[in-house]
Amino acid sequence: QVQLVESGGGLVQAGGSLRLSCAASGRTFRSYTMAWFRQAPGKEREFVATINWSGGLTFYADSMKGRFTISRDNAKNTLYLQMNSLKPEDTAVYFCAASRIYGRVSTASFDYWGQGTQVTVSS
C-alpha cells in the first residue's frame, strides 16, 4: 500500500509555470506506475500524464504534450509534474495516483490516490 500527498499548487498567471510534487510513503514506491490526473469544477477527472516505475517511459494527454513534464525520484519517493505555459483552462485540482500497471489512462486503473492540490491559472 502507498499513501500519496500532493503539494505545489497555487495561483499563477497565464503563461506562468508551477511544479507539483507528490510525496509517497512506504518502501514500494519504486514498484508503482505513477500518474497525474486533474479535475475541473463540474467536469470528470481526466488523465494528464503517466510514468513507469523507472522513469524511462512516459505518456501524456495530447493537450499537455510539450507543456507538462512528468518525472520521478525513486530515492526520494517523489513524483513531479512541471507545468509550463499554463492556460486558464488548466485550472483544476490535480491528483497523483499509483498503479501496478503501466499504459493505462483511466481512473479505474489506479489503486491509490492523493487528496489533490488546487491549481488556478488567471487570465
* pLDDT tens string 5-26: 999 999 999 999 999 999 999 7
Under a CB-based contact definition with an 8 Å cutoff, are residues 72 and 54 in contact? Answer: no
Residues 101-116: pLDDT tens digits? 999 999 999 999 999 9
| pLDDT at position 38 over 80 | yes
23 CB contacts (<8 Å, ≥6 apart)? 4, 5, 7, 77, 78
Q: Which of 27-31, 44-48, 75-79 has the lowest mean pLDDT?
A: 27-31
50 DSSP β-pair partners: 35, 59
- Which residue is associated with the grid cell 479505474? 108
- Which residue is associated with the grid cell 507543456? 67
Strand order in the sheet with 4-7: 4-7, 18-24, 78-83, 68-73
> Which phi and psi angles does 7 have, rounded to 5°?
-155, 170
Residues 61-102: pLDDT tens digits? 999 999 999 999 999 999 999 999 999 999 999 999 999 999
pLDDT at 27: 74
pLDDT at 26: 77
